[in-house]
């Protein structure tokens, strides 16, 4: 199974990226996981798709890459009780032109994180709302909200809490079983 990983944070040293790297290492053999770049996507403008403006190469590359993945993992921080603008923009770019969405029918895992105790709850649920409309099938249980995430990693970027690693392994196992249903 080929799985695309989309990280909502563009920041160098992103906690979401570190978390995604750790989750990637928990998948069994036979799964190919690749990060999908979203930071280079110009803000969505329908004029790109109707020919009024030249279609950005980044749109074409992103859409083509996403068409090749069987499943998606979203790892995102919470910005103002929602998802980062770059992530919402990627959803919009992938959903157009109308009738050509790259999202429909794919299984997805949502992982949200925050340095606070709220653990990205708002971002997680806002993302679920958009994905429901886009016909993306999200794993419902277990839900993944990672709180106090800034203290979660050692100096090498590895998760320093055995309980969190065990939980994430159970999430990966559940997602693999869930995603197989859509293959």
Do the beta carbons of residue 95 and residue 49 sit within 8 Å?
no
CA–CA separation, 92 and 95 (whole Å): 5
CATH superfamily of 2-180: Flavodoxin domain (3.40.50.360)
- Torsions phi, psi for 170 (to 5 deg): -65, -35
Do the beta carbons of residue 101 and residue 35 sit within 8 Å?
no
Q: Above 90 in pLDDT, residue 183?
A: no
Residues 41-86 have pLDDT tens digits of: 999 999 999 999 999 999 999 999 999 999 999 999 999 999 999 9
- Torsions phi, psi for 174 (to 5 deg): -65, -40
CA–CA separation, 178 and 73 (whole Å): 13
- Torsions phi, psi for 110 (to 5 deg): -115, 125
- Three-state DSSP class for residue 76: strand
Q: Which pTM was predicted?
A: 0.97
Q: Residue 146 pairs with which residues in a beta bridge?
A: 113
Q: What is the mean pLDDT of the chain?
A: 96
Residues 114-141 have pLDDT tens digits of: 988 888 999 999 999 999 999 999 999 9
CA–CA separation, 34 and 92 (whole Å): 20
**What is the full DSSP assignment across 105-167?**
T-EEEEEEE-SSTTTTHHHHHHHHHHHHHTT-EE--SS-EEE-SGGGSB-TTS-B--HHHHHH
Spans of all domains in the chain: 2-180
């Amino acid at each position: 199974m080929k799985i695309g990983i989309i990280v909502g944070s563009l920041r160098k040293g992103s906690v979401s990226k570190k978390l995604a790297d750790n989750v990637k290492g928990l998948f069994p053999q036979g799964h190919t996981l690749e990060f999908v770049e979203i930071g280079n996507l110009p803000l969505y403008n329908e004029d790109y798709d109707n020919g009024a403006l030249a279609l950005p190469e980044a749109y074409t590359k992103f859409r083509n890459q996403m068409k090749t993945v069987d499943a998606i993992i979203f790892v995102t921080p919470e910005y103002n009780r929602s998802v980062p603008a770059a992530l919402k923009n990627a959803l919009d770019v992938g959903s157009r032109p109308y009738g050509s969405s790259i999202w429909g029918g794919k299984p997805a895992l949502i992982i949200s994180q925050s340095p606070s105790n709220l653990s990205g709850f708002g971002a997680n649920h806002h993302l679920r709302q958009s994905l429901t409309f886009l016909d993306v099938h999200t794993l419902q249980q277990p839900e993944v909200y990672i709180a106090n995430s800034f203290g979660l990693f050692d100096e090498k970027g590895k998760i320093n809490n055995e309980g969190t690693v065990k939980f994430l392994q159970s999430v990966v196992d559940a997602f693999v079983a869930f995603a197989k249903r859509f293959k």
